[in-house]
Amino acid sequence: MSPTTHYHTVTLAARGGIDLAYAEAGDPTAPTLILLHGFPSSSNQYRHLIPALADKYRVLAPDLPGFGSTVVHSDPTNLTFSDLTDALEGFVDTLGVSHFGVYIFDYGAPTALRFALRRPAAITALITQNGNAYEEGLGAALWAPVRTLWATERGTPAFDEALAPLAGLLTFEATKRQYTLGTPAPLLDRIDPAAYALDQANNARSPETQVGLLYDYRSNVALYPQFQAWLRESRVPVLAVWGRGDEIFVPAGAEAYARDAVDAEVHLLDGGHFLLETHVEAVAALIRTFLERVRFGQAA
């Protein structure tokens, strides 16, 4: 029988109060894995992975501020990645988690890596699934016009002009395309339409929040050298498992981890950005083998 997933909310003091929703499964005394989602998703993207890992690990999957069922009581339209990291820090402290392995994807990647800069020894295993930390991982098709936006000042006519070509990113069609692009045709029927419908509902709730985070992503790129230095200095074991068809964070971003992580394992699977929709069994198997190999949660 698969472990049961439970859904909770914890109240954090950050930004004047955040009711942070999260999913949890597994033995509370087991080694902890935290799964961090990306744009425009939520912990729902891990609905199949959680029970595939929770027989052996305590699995926690929070909804980051601006996403899912988490409620930010102050104005959410000016959220930054520093705020997301504050929320992760408050989350682990409130739950009493001092050390953990982390699965990073999309926006979850800079959130966890910023946390690692604050607490270099807290993350003891890193699983990156299309979770980028390298310039070469930024696919030009999306990021070239975003870089033009970054070069402007928010709230100015230049910002509005640069934003116009990106307006389509928050449409239903664009959200669906994130799931389908790069996915081989025989696998498209594995993608649950309810997943991208739920993500689109999140976009529609506060488009300004999503624009603000996209704009602030430039601050993550500026931190890439520090993220890479942490990989080298911490010697954290890394599993990079990537959808090779992803045009947002391209495969070169996966391969780059091997430059800095002394114990890196890289796998490119025949899927897209939301790889778990089509390859959850393969990804879960790779994670379990990797964590066994690096003796995650075991005494040295």
Q: Hey, which residues are catalytic here?
A: 273
Backbone φ and ψ for 22, nearest 5 degrees, come out as: -155, 155
Q: How far does CA 246 lie from the centroid of its chain?
A: 14
Backbone φ and ψ for 257, nearest 5 degrees, come out as: -60, -30
119-150 residues labelled b (16+ CB within 10 A) or e (exposed): eeebbbbbbbbbbbbbeebbbeebbebbeebb
137 near 254, Cβ under 8 Å?
yes
Picking from 134, 205, 216, the residue whose alpha carbon sits closest to that of residue 170 is 205
Backbone φ and ψ for 38, nearest 5 degrees, come out as: -130, -165
CA atoms within 13 A on the CB side of 83: 24
Question: What does the angle CA 251 – CA 44 – CA 263 come to, to the nearest 5 degrees?
Answer: 40
Picking from 44, 59, 42, 41, the residue whose alpha carbon sits closest to that of residue 2 is 59
